[in-house]
Amino acid sequence: MTNTASETGRQAPAPSTPPLPGLARRFGPLLLALSAVVPPLMMLREVLRYPQMHFYDYWWVLLDITDADGSLRPEALVGFRNEHPFVLPSLLFWLSARFGHGLNQPLGLVVLAMGVGCVLLVALMLPRHLTAWQRAGLVAATSTLVFNPHGIHNYVRSMSGASWVLAMLLVLGALLAAHRGRRVVAVVLGLLASISYGTSFAVWPALALVAWLRGDRRKWIATPLVVGFVVVATWLVLRGPQGGGGDSPTDDPAQALLAGLSMLGMVWTGTEPSVALLAGVAGLGVLVLHVHQSESERRVAAPWWGLALHALGCAVMISGSRAAFGESAGLQSRYNSMAAALWIAVLVIVVAWARWPRFRAVAVGGTVLATVALGAPMAQSVRADAPRQQLLAVAARIGHPDAFTDRFPSPGALLPRLRALGHYPFSPTFSLGCPDGLTVDDRVSTAGWRSPSVDSLREPRPDGRDVVLNVETDQVQGGARMLEGWAISGIERARCVAVLDQEGTVVGGGVVDLPRSDAEAATPGIESGLGFQAVAPARPGLLRVAFQFPDGWWIRPLTEKPQVAR
């Protein structure tokens, strides 16, 4: 990457490499910029693959903002969630519940659009003196950081991104407005960010810093600080009781430093807090090495220093409130937007006002490659939880989510609201995933379905391959009957699982295609993903579990005396 002197007053260095071929010079920056669409497309695939069932915090908010019949309680929108002002996310949750059947994926698409908005705002803020290659590289790197695998939680669990990514979008908008001298717009956007999530309180000192670096009058430097003081003071008066913490003392400075600095560097590790901490320190160190700038450079760099200060302010708040949750407290997937803010600012400053010009391309390319690859463990851990969420949807649909108290609160109050709203899993989109469309409450004739022998529950096939319907766990938890095992027909895994009563009514179901390395090891040459989990009501009478394979349905009875969980 090269630089010019149009805005900085600094003499541009002479190129150290031969000029690129004509076509590369002409179309290279465009192709590089177009690569910025790849990260959101990859995240789109993740969103569309994830279950439609919303996640934990969404349910608490829905309980707060609705009456028993599902109608909105407008006054409840102006409330708090875990001490955070949560007005705009609550409104998004209500709109999702009322007009979107409470589906997770559509709200995830809205959050994804917010992420695209973040990338576009960064592109609008980039200094004008950058070359086409530099601008394209920074846009591509920004897209990678915003849609990094580390932050998959914010998109596939849309209730999270509806606060974190929305707040990031509004903060970037406020910084852009302040940089362009639109001070009132900046304050309004800052206020909207402040009622989206508490970490957005850091926008106020960031806006004041932008005004100071731009050389604005003192009243415009003081205005964000005064407004921010009023916002925080109002929050302190109105917020609810403080939440609890973990096992470690929150006033331990070392623990707080670990949480805050590891949050800033989380994109540079898979699971190691110490590596994240060192990366966070390194990022702040790079900024310190670039802090000496001329007056004209500071004016142009103002929004980026503001963005870096915002990220640092978020880290301070996280360190004070989450340090008690252990050494990995700063590595939560939902914090990716704040870590991204720091590294976007670092990359822009390093490229636009380089202290080491030869390393600019390496810094951008290395950040893109390393952070994406290192995000794989985080993404996989979130993906691995998806079957549990699908099983929750079935349990809620049959009215017995007893085994899911860790992610579905107060079912006695929540389920009537969902039914009244036609909210998933009580919407027409609910499905057990069966190719023939079989779902809960359907009644079918099972006369043509095959059953293996009752004794071994194995059926030798004419070609020597077996059908195995193996139920290893059959346990009652509250009003739910939880099943687990593995199933195979020949070399084929099951396509779906359903639980039927004696009359042929589907009373439950679950998820298939779960990893079962033990079963796969015992059946060499067989496809992976033989495991299943299912849920049904713990009612008297004979129940049967059925599996659909490519060669049709196989069914077997369940014991009439399941275990009872203690």
How confident is the model at residue 326, as a pLDDT? 74
- Confidence band for 8, pLDDT divided at 50, 70 and 90: very low
Please determine, for residue 179, whether its predicted confidence score (pLDDT) is greater than 50: yes
pLDDT of residue 83: 81
Give the model's confidence band at 11: pLDDT under 50 very low, under 70 low, under 90 confident, else very high.
very low
Q: Please compute the mean of the pLDDT values over residues 119-125 and round it to a whole number.
A: 98
pLDDT in tens, 204-240: 999 999 999 999 999 999 999 999 999 999 998 887 5
Contact (Cβ atoms closer than 8 angstroms) between residue 112 and residue 155: yes
Based on C-alpha coordinates, what's the Rg of the chain? 27
pLDDT band at 455 (very low <50, low <70, confident <90, very high): low
Whether the predicted pLDDT of 524 surpasses 80: no
pLDDT band at 453; cut points 50, 70, 90: confident
Calculate the average pLDDT of the chain.
Answer: 89
Give the model's pLDDT for residue 19: 57
Residues 6+ apart with CB under 8 A from 434: 495, 496, 498, 548
Binned at pLDDT 50, 70 and 90, residue 10 comes out as very low
Q: Please report the pLDDT score of residue 211 as a whole number.
A: 97
pLDDT score for 6: 41
What is the percent of the chain with per-residue pLDDT over 70, rounded to a whole number?
91
What pLDDT band is residue 245 in, cutting at 50, 70 and 90? very low
Is the model's pLDDT at 254 over the cut of 60?
yes
- Give the residue-averaged pLDDT of 27-31: 89
Q: What are the phi and psi torsion angles at 321 (to 5°)?
A: -105, -20
Looking at domain 432-557, its CATH superfamily turns out to be: Immunoglobulins (2.60.40.10)
Q: Is the pLDDT of residue 249 over 60?
A: no
User: Are 64 and 79 in contact, with CB atoms under 8 Å apart?
Assistant: yes
Q: What is the mean pLDDT of residues 324-338?
A: 85
Tokens for 250, please give them. Answer: 């929150």
Provide the pLDDT for residue 504: 94
CB–CB of 284/312 below 8 Å? Answer: yes
Residue 243 binned pLDDT confidence (cut-offs 50, 70, 90): very low
Residue 241's pLDDT band, with cuts at 50, 70 and 90, is low
pLDDT at residue 440, as a whole number: 96
Q: Under 8 Å CB-to-CB from 484, ≥6 apart: which residues?
A: 471, 472, 473, 531, 532, 533, 534
Q: What percentage of the chain carries pLDDT values higher than 90? A: 71
Cα 236 from Cα 234, distance rounded (Å): 5
Per the CB < 8 A criterion, the answer to whether 426 and 418 are in contact is yes
User: pLDDT per residue over 73-107, tens digit each?
Assistant: 988 888 787 788 889 999 999 999 999 999 999 99
Give the residue extent of every domain in the chain: 46-238+254-387, 432-557
* pLDDT the model gives residue 454: 64
Q: What pLDDT does 242 receive?
A: 53
pLDDT band at 484 (very low <50, low <70, confident <90, very high): very high
366 band by pLDDT with thresholds 50, 70 and 90: very high
Here the tokens at position 194 are: 């402040």
